[in-house]
Amino acid sequence: MLVLTDSVVFVADDTSEVIQHEEIVQGAEIRCGCAEGDLAAVAFGNGSIALITDGRVEHLQTGISERIECLDILADRPLELLIGTEPAHLYRLGAGGAEPLEAFDGLDCQSSWYTPWGGPPTVRSLANSGDCLYADIHVGSIMRSMDRGNSWEPVTSELDDDVHQVATCAAAPASVYANTADAVFVSEDRGQTWDRRAAGLPTPYGRAIAVHPTDPDCILASVSEGPHSDVKGQLYRSDDTGRKWTHVIDGFPSELKENLDTFQLGFSANGRAWAAIDNLLYVSDDRGGKWMVAWEAPTQISSIAC
């Protein structure tokens, strides 16, 4: 598991009760990371990517000038990495380097993408289920590819367009999960139709979402009163795919001043749940019901990648 700060990447052992961590990569402006199997990847502000395998680090120059916002590992042998940026573009990194996905750039709906503050829209998060890829546009809903990135289309308009994180689950390849500014949405047909699932949530505004790796009904999601400070951030869990939500308070703060943000919540492959709040890393061994502090980082944790 990766634990990222602004300038240091820690590789953590997620099998023990107390985190055994190793400071593996240092660099200015660490942007984001992802992990899949034995491979992890970290993006830096200069456009470079660090690949981490069994403690070994390989640095790659992508040549991407845009700000990298998210990564997704599609394959490790040979390497295939999906990269999302600000402004909203997608690149596929392989043995031949990074290539822009022209079909994504040719989407007619790009003219409707926006940000509330007037800046460029962003590919905020990525997810995949085999050949089916999902790119969360902030703000512009989710774009979907059914053929591993060769063609792209928007998912149906039932989904709120202000999406903050998209997720999938290997145990349910047709399911897609999204946390948005108007609550959690779930699709069980690869984004053809969506169901808004907000029963029990105190407020619709959501940020992070994570799905148990072997139980697609078990979801964790963060909500708050909005995008700014003093927003009463809270963590909720569901055991029925979001049809009913329960407030998480056992060993976990009942209310946060800030949002529990995109990429600060996750499940590792063994089913342990993780959450990063300021410089504290929380862990749960019972699907997100009871929590404890596993590790205190030397500085604020920006994101985790399980």
- Residue 11 is predicted with a pLDDT of 84
| pLDDT, averaged across the chain | 94
More confident residue, 10 or 195: 195
Q: What is the pLDDT of residues 146-199, one digit of tens each?
A: 999 999 999 999 999 999 999 999 999 999 999 999 999 999 999 999 999 999
| 298: preceding bond cis by omega (within 30 degrees) | no
| Alpha-carbon gap, residue 85 to 226, rounded angstroms | 24
Residues 32 and 43 sit within 8 Å (Cβ to Cβ): yes
Q: For residue 280, is pLDDT > 60?
A: yes
- Residue 27 is predicted with a pLDDT of 60
Please list the helix, strand and coil fractions of the chain in percent, rounded to the nearest 5, in that order: 5, 50, 45
Domains of the chain: 2-305 (2.130.10.10)
Residues 3 and 9 sit within 8 Å (Cβ to Cβ): yes
| Alpha-carbon gap, residue 105 to 227, rounded angstroms | 28
- Residue 7 is predicted with a pLDDT of 87
What is the chain's length?
Answer: 306
| Alpha-carbon gap, residue 109 to 104, rounded angstroms | 10
Quick one: what percent of the chain has pLDDT higher than 70?
A: 95
pLDDT mean over 275-290: 96
- Residue 268 is predicted with a pLDDT of 93
- In sequence order, what are the beta bridge partners of 304? 3
| Alpha-carbon gap, residue 259 to 198, rounded angstroms | 18
Q: What is the pLDDT of residues 260-272, one digit of tens each?
A: 999 999 999 999 9
Q: How many CA atoms lie within 13 A of 190 on its CB side?
A: 13
At 206, the pLDDT band (50, 70, 90 cuts) reads: very high
- Residue 12 is predicted with a pLDDT of 79
- In sequence order, what are the beta bridge partners of 301? none
Q: What is the pLDDT of residues 30-74, one digit of tens each?
A: 999 999 988 999 999 999 999 988 878 888 999 999 999 999 999
